Amino acid sequence: MSVVIKLKSSPKSVMETRAILGPTGNRVRVSDELKRKTEALKKPQGPKIPVPQSPQSVVQSNVSVDSSCSSDSSYSNSSVKTVSSRKTVKRNGVKPVKAKVAPTADEVVTDISPVISEPLKRCDWITQFSDPLYSSFHDEEWGVPIHDDRKLFELLVFSQALAELSWPAILNKRDTFRKLFDNFDPSSIAQFSEKKMLSLKVDGSLLLSEPKLRAVVENAKQMLKVQQEFGSFSSYCWGFVNHKPLRNGFRYVRQVPIKTPKAELVSKDMRQRGFRCVGPTVVYSFMQVVGIVNDHLVTCFRYQECNANVKKDIKPKIDEIEGLTKDVENTCLSR
């Protein structure tokens, strides 16, 4: 005979059901009545009597704490992601502006500001108001060593014309000079007849006097003789400086001479050979323009460029020569 045993259910816990927090909210919805009781318990009603908890409620409580912790951690992680994502996410179609952060000591700050190039420093007689042809002549030709005979003769004629014209005026008429003087071919100019000379005189485009025109033709004849004797007009001219350019170191325009003892020596020799209109001033201007002497100011960018192929300055300073002479005299007197 079977016996039916009726198990009594355990008495219900008096404790209220506690809401369990999950990542997405409460798992157990509390009724409105329980909410009201909870709010009533929060009000101060004297000392609270601890309510015994069943093992099941303890487990639920632990689960609630663990769930709340996991919820807090997930919330904090999600909040961090949200804050970090705010830097790149556009709101209402407008991208937020990032705050500027000062560079640290380890970071290298690169200056990306545009570099403004300063104008080249030229000799003081070239200004911003100078003729562009004159500026180009200074930058490309004046002071550059020349060894071509035809080019040397052209610049000799221009140096003679400086007594009546300025460099800008000569350079603006350069093509006319070359046309009337057969591109400065000495052999052709030496054959000019008197009729040809008169035609050059009548043509007032050159603005040269008759003595200057006759000097050009006569110098062409003497140049041919020099070529036969020295092999070239270049060898004759550069022989006075041992075929090495003289290099001065003037800083101011007032220091640049109009003639030198070397120019006087060359002038004397040329006049003895039959050259005309070749005084010391003309000769020194010729020496400057053909690069026999470098008279660019030391502050000019062309000074070093013209000295690029010159190893040493073989021209001693005048004061050094005087000092050396005094030292020799004192040594001789002491003996």
In a domain, 42, yes or no: no
In a domain, 223, yes or no: yes
Residue 217 is part of a domain; what is its CATH number?
Answer: 1.10.340.30
Provide the number of structural domains found in the chain.
1
Q: Are 310 and 245 in contact (CB under 8 A)?
A: yes
Q: For residue 201, what pLDDT is reported?
A: 74
Q: Alpha-carbon torsion 197, 202, 203, 204, what sign?
A: positive
In a domain, 6, yes or no: no
* Distance in angstroms (rounded) separating the CA atoms of residues 311 and 305: 12
In a domain, 68, yes or no: no
Q: For residue 327, what pLDDT is reported?
A: 52
In a domain, 230, yes or no: yes
Q: For residue 99, what pLDDT is reported?
A: 53
In a domain, 37, yes or no: no
Binding-site residues from annotation for Zn(2+): 123, 138, 296, 300
In a domain, 233, yes or no: yes
Q: Are 138 and 123 in contact (CB under 8 A)?
A: yes
The residues near 20 (Cβ < 8 Å, ≥ 6 apart) are 26, 27, 28, 60, 63, 64, 67
Segment (H or E) for 214 = helix 210-230
Q: Are 293 and 248 in contact (CB under 8 A)?
A: yes
Nearest residue to 70 via CA among 124, 27, 130, 30: 27
* Distance in angstroms (rounded) separating the CA atoms of residues 107 and 103: 6
Binding-site residues from annotation: 123, 138, 296, 300
* Distance in angstroms (rounded) separating the CA atoms of residues 178 and 210: 18
SS3 of the chain: helix, strand, coil, percent, to 5:
50, 5, 45
Nearest residue to 247 via CA among 314, 305, 308: 314
* Distance in angstroms (rounded) separating the CA atoms of residues 157 and 172: 15
**What's the domain range around 148?**
132-303
In a domain, 92, yes or no: no
Q: Are 301 and 120 in contact (CB under 8 A)?
A: yes
- Residue 237 tokens read as 């001219």
- Burial class from Cβ neighbours inside 10 Å (0-12, 13-18, 19+) for residue 235 reads middle
Q: For residue 328, what pLDDT is reported?
A: 41
Walk along the chain (335 residues) and give the pLDDT tens digit of each residue.
444 544 444 444 444 444 444 444 444 454 565 667 666 665 555 555 455 554 454 444 444 444 444 444 444 444 444 444 444 444 555 555 555 555 555 555 555 555 555 678 899 899 989 999 999 999 999 999 999 999 999 999 999 999 999 999 999 999 999 998 999 999 999 999 988 888 887 765 667 888 999 999 999 999 999 999 999 999 999 999 999 999 998 999 999 999 999 999 999 999 999 999 999 999 999 999 999 999 999 999 998 888 775 544 444 434 444 444 455 455 444 44
